[in-house]
Amino acid sequence: MGQTTLTAFFAMMIVFTLGEMFAFSRQQAYAASLSPDDMRGRYSGFLSLCWSVGGIFSSLGAMHLYGWSPDVVWVVTAMLGAVATLMILRR
């Protein structure tokens, strides 16, 4: 790995880490605000379960796509991101 590639890798890891710090802290609070008082633990647990299952299956799927064609991974990721954006904006 060249120095430029390594620097870019570290820069992107910092960006991803900051994004996760901002997103996940607000995400749990938002889930708690939607849930009834006596079911906050269940809502929080289900949210964590969904993230875990999604992380596992997306990794498996992406690895298979990457083995077939690395470019397809990015196209599918961009399309899913666009769909998620539209779903959020529609709400």
DSSP 30-75: HHHHHS-GGGHHHHHHHHHHHHHHHHHHHHHHHHHHHHH-HHHHHH
Are 73 and 65 in contact by the 8 Å Cβ rule? The answer is yes
Average pLDDT over residues 34-43: 89
Say if residue 1's pLDDT is above 60.
Answer: no
Identity of the amino acid at 22: F
Average pLDDT over residues 37-47: 90
Say if residue 49's pLDDT is above 90.
Answer: yes
Q: What is the pTM of this model?
A: 0.60
Q: Is the dihedral of CA 40, 42, 45, 50 positive or negative?
A: negative
Name the residue ranges covered by the structural domains of the chain. Answer: 3-90
